[in-house]
A = this chain, B = another copy of it.
Amino acid sequence: MEEQLSNQNNLYRPKTDITPGDRAAHMGQVPRTLWFTGLSGSGKSTLANEVEKSLLAAGHYTMLLDGDAVRMGLNANLGFSSQDRVENIRRVAEVAKLMNEAGLIVLTSFISPFREDRQRAREIIGKGFVEIYVATPLSVCEERDVKGLYKKAREGKIPNFTGISSPYEPPLSPEITVQTQGHSVQESAQELLGLLAPYLGQ
């Protein structure tokens, strides 16, 4: 039998034998979404990449969702209006949730500058959500300017650029905060892995 969820839309949640718990047990891990947030150039993707390498080497099953890559596919039909930025984050959260239901540890790397959007992601994903604030100061990000975007933004060539012409709202109580300033990538990644351990245990 099936459980009817919505009379109005004739939607049913099918009764399936395999549950998210079964898939996680099969993988032998606790599914999590490690939600990296921080300014452009803060080191989110670099750190997520290092953490994924270590998790895989430790036998975990992982997936990395990157802002720019997702915008080339799933979210290719979204722009950068505030409405579209909200939808961008919502879809990523829903995909991360589905991947958690598959048993995976998901790492997401999105600026995700607004508290409200991250709060919604937290609600969608549920208890697997771990907010990781990559707290590199704006001055350092702008000095690095890996993609040359800050220069363009200062020249007024990119509208609504986070940190320059659009706000970044730092997390008020993230599960984890990482400093990258004055540390090598390896140092920051090792620190982060230590802080993550309690969330990845059984």
Contacts and interface: CB of A to CB of B under 8 A. Distances in A.
Interface in A73-131: 73-74, 77, 87, 91, 94-95, 97-99, 101-104, 109, 124
Contacts of A149: 10
Contacts of A22: 56
A142 interface: no
A147 B2 contact: yes
A69 interface: yes
B61 A27 contact: yes
A146 interface: yes
A69 to B, nearest CB: 6
A98 B72 contact: no
Nearest to A64: B16
Given A56-B22, A97-B73, A12 B147 contact: yes
